[in-house]
């Protein structure tokens, strides 16, 4: 009904027939009785035979599922449905391969270069040497799925993809959706156009099969997606290659993926006597905990009682779909005080970044169809972009704070808190360009008001010290890109100068961290430059695809004008001046 309401609203603005809603057979759920639901999954995960719940659901079966389930039934009968830790451990060792990495093979991207083009953009010799060393990380993160996964898909949680790809790193051994966007940006700057094209083709293959892109290429992720970045991936590829034939061959699949979000994620919000269509994260999936975090979700749900547990599980999955898993952004808020993870209610909060991403996606579809000389489709998606823009302008824009803020549907008000995601409309260009100067000034004031300009280790994603990994004091690479390029793309001072300061600090912090640990991390401490971040439900991971991508982005933009000698001191002096 929500989607049809959205479509009805759209018809008012359209004089031509729409070609939306083609996703008639979206497969949201994983029906595996081993990897996604059922007694086997519950028994193994609650036995705590692995420190990380993801470890088990990444293991593949030595036999067909019928044999695995039969052996489990025998175990339960022999133990009166109450096997002990050692018995569960033995069952897993006898029925599952003990190395999930064995589904994947290392792969050498054929377009990787020892001296990538990005080096020509870097003036400072020390930074140039560092980036050349970082460039060697791409092959370390390169993987390809073994043919046997395609031959026996029922034995694996891994979703088969035909082409090689870049993984984030650490426990994240498969391809992930929004991680890949920033990794692709970096790869394109390193001349790895063919690898990016192959990854896009992997995404297209999955969309054609399932109707959308799951969170990651695992069957247990089929209950949710991740922030919608596909159109922006394609746009980045097109900027470098101008491969119009590639676009023409795949435009219908790109459109299909956006249609999924338009169908599934929009709700009506009434404000100022008008009704707007805005997007929020939600899932339509199997009941129960997230399989890859089963124990953690189950234990938290026990604190709530059976009447609230299913709602909790759904909001946890929706929170994971946001990419911000987890954060006080999704917690209940009473009198300005945030709750904790057990108060999560993701589905009732309208996020700034999701709506900006979707507005940008719709505008890009309009641009793509214009390039392909299809004016009717171009006009359609242009008006779709305008409708989403209306929600950004009238629901998410807060006039008092002069900033976009998440909106609380239950409390019918803005959630007046700093989040790095507040800058997503700047990043996506989802605003009236005539207001760029005013937005540049108000955005800088927003950062200064919350003290963000004083951090030397990167801009924290929030100021809420909840203990969750997507909160203070963690600085995530992708959000540095959103803030920095959001400011830079306004084209106005003081935003552009601050963008350079923040980018320079981030590069220096990453350099310090790499010099100390010889790795890149998925997240960093905003307080201690170069130190890795913490919190959340797993240890900090190394690799790391999007960290590498953002470093390459910043070097491409500012590499000709910064140096290792003055980067830290310049950042300090600029902060003092501010």
Provide the pLDDT confidence category of residue 260 given band limits of 50, 70 and 90: very high
d(CA 20, CA 12): 15
pLDDT surpasses 60 at 2: no
Return the pLDDT at 11. Answer: 43
Residues 6+ apart with CB under 8 A from 452: 418, 459, 460
* 543, 502 Cβ separation under 8 angstroms: no
d(CA 311, CA 282): 11
DSSP 165-216: EE--BTTB-S-BHHHHHHHHHHHHHTT-HHHHHHHHHHHHHHHHHHSS--SB
DSSP 393: I
Return the pLDDT at 569. Answer: 63
Provide the pLDDT confidence category of residue 12 given band limits of 50, 70 and 90: very low
Dump pLDDT digits (tens) for 509-534.
Answer: 999 999 999 999 999 999 999 999 99
* C-alpha radius of gyration, the chain, whole number: 23
Return the pLDDT at 30. Answer: 82
Tell me what the mean pLDDT of segment 413-430 comes to.
98
Residue with tokens 């991971």: 541
Over the chain, what is the mean pLDDT? 93
Percent of the chain with pLDDT over 90: 89
Identify whether 64 is a catalytic site residue: no
Tell me what the mean pLDDT of segment 92-100 comes to.
89
DSSP 88-117: HHHHHHHHB-S-GGGGEEE---TT--SS-G
Name which of 165, 149, 146 is nearest 157 in CA terms: 149
pLDDT surpasses 70 at 25: no
Tell me what the mean pLDDT of segment 420-434 comes to.
98
* 483, 437 Cβ separation under 8 angstroms: no
DSSP 521: B
Six-digit token string for 544: 């790391």
Provide the pLDDT confidence category of residue 98 given band limits of 50, 70 and 90: confident
Q: Which of 464, 468, 522, 553 is catalytic?
A: 522
Return the pLDDT at 391. Answer: 98
Return the pLDDT at 27. Answer: 55
d(CA 222, CA 1): 23
Provide the pLDDT confidence category of residue 101 given band limits of 50, 70 and 90: low
d(CA 401, CA 413): 13
Give me the helix-helix angle, 545-558 and 177-189, nearest 10°: 40
Name which of 158, 132, 133 is nearest 145 in CA terms: 158
Return the pLDDT at 28. Answer: 62
pLDDT surpasses 80 at 285: no
d(CA 371, CA 350): 32
Indicate the length of the chain as a whole number. 578
Dump pLDDT digits (tens) for 191-243.
Answer: 999 999 999 999 999 999 999 999 999 999 999 999 999 999 999 999 999 99
Q: Which of 103, 325, 361, 556 is catalytic?
A: 325
Name which of 227, 244, 418, 198 is nearest 325 in CA terms: 227
Percent of the chain with pLDDT over 70: 92
> Please, what is the end-to-end C-alpha distance for the chain in angstroms?
50
Return the pLDDT at 18. Answer: 27
Dump pLDDT digits (tens) for 342-353.
Answer: 999 999 999 999
pLDDT surpasses 80 at 478: yes
Identify whether 133 is a catalytic site residue: no
Provide the pLDDT confidence category of residue 562 given band limits of 50, 70 and 90: very high
Provide the pLDDT confidence category of residue 67 given band limits of 50, 70 and 90: very high
Per-residue b/e over 264-299, b at no fewer than 16 CB within 10 Å?
Answer: bbbbebeeeeeebbbbbbbbebbebbbbbbbbbbbe
Six-digit token string for 246: 């590639």
């Amino acid at each position: 009904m929500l989607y049809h309401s959205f479509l009805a609203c759209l018809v008012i603005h359209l004089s031509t027939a729409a070609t939306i809603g083609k996703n008639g057979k979206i497969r949201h759920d994983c029906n595996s009785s081993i990897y996604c639901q059922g007694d086997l999954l519950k028994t193994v995960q609650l036995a705590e035979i692995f420190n990380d719940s993801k470890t088990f659901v990444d293991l593949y079966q030595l036999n067909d599922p019928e044999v695995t389930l039969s052996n489990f039934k025998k175990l339960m009968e022999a133990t009166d449905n109450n096997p002990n830790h050692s018995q569960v451990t033995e069952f897993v060792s006898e029925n599952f391969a003990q190395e999930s990495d064995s589904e994947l093979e290392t792969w050498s991207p054929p377009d990787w270069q020892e001296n990538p083009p990005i080096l020509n953009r870097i003036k400072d010799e020390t930074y140039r040497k560092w980036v050349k060393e970082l460039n060697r990380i791409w092959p370390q993160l390169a993987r390809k799925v073994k043919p046997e996964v395609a031959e026996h898909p029922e034995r694996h949680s891994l979703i088969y993809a035909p082409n090689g790809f870049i993984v984030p790193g650490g426990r994240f051994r498969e391809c992930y959706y929004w991680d890949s966007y920033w990794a692709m940006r970096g790869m394109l700057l390193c001349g790895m156009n063919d690898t990016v094209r192959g990854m896009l083709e992997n995404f297209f293959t999955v969309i054609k099969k399932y109707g959308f892109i799951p969170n990651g290429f695992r069957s247990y992720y089929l209950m949710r997606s991740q922030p919608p970045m596909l159109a922006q991936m394609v746009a980045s590829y097109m900027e470098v290659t101008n491969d119009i034939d590639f676009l023409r061959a795949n435009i219908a699949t790109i459109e299909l993926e956006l249609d999924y979000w338009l169908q599934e994620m929009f709700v009506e919000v009434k404000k100022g006597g008008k009704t707007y269509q805005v997007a929020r994260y939600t899932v339509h999936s199997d009941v129960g905990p997230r399989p890859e975090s089963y124990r953690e979700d189950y234990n938290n749900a026990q604190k709530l009682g059976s009447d609230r547990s299913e709602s909790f599980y759904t909001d946890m999955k929706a929170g994971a779909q946001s990419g911000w898993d987890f954060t006080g952004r999704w917690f209940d808020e009473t009198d300005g005080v945030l709750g904790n993870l057990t108060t999560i209610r993701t589905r009732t909060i309208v996020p700034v970044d999701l709506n900006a991403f979707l507005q940008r996606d719709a505008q890009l579809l309009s641009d793509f169809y214009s390039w392909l000389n299809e004016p009717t489709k171009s006009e359609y998606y242009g008006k779709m972009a305008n409708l989403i823009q209306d929600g950004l302008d009238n629901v998410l824009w807060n006039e008092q704070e002069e900033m976009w803020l998440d909106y609380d549907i239950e409390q019918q008000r803005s959630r007046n808190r700093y989040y790095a995601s507040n800058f997503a409309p700047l990043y996506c260009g989802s605003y009236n360009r005539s207001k760029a100067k005013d937005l540049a000034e108000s955005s800088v004031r927003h950062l200064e008001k919350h003290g963000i300009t004083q951090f030397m280790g990167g801009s924290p994603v929030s100021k809420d010290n909840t203990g969750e990994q997507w909160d203070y004091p963690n600085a995530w690479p992708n959000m540095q890109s959103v803030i920095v390029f959001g400011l830079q793309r306004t084209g106005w001072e003081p935003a552009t100068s601050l963008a350079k300061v923040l980018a320079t600090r981030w590069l220096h912090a990453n350099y310090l961290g790499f010099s100390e640990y010889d790795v890149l991390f998925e997240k960093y401490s905003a307080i201690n430059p170069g130190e890795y971040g913490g919190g959340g439900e797993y240890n900090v991971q190394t690799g790391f695809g999007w960290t590498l991508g953002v470093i390459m982005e910043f070097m491409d933009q500012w590499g000709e004008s910064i140096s290792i000698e003055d980067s830290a001191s310049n950042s300090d002096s600029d902060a003092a001046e501010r």
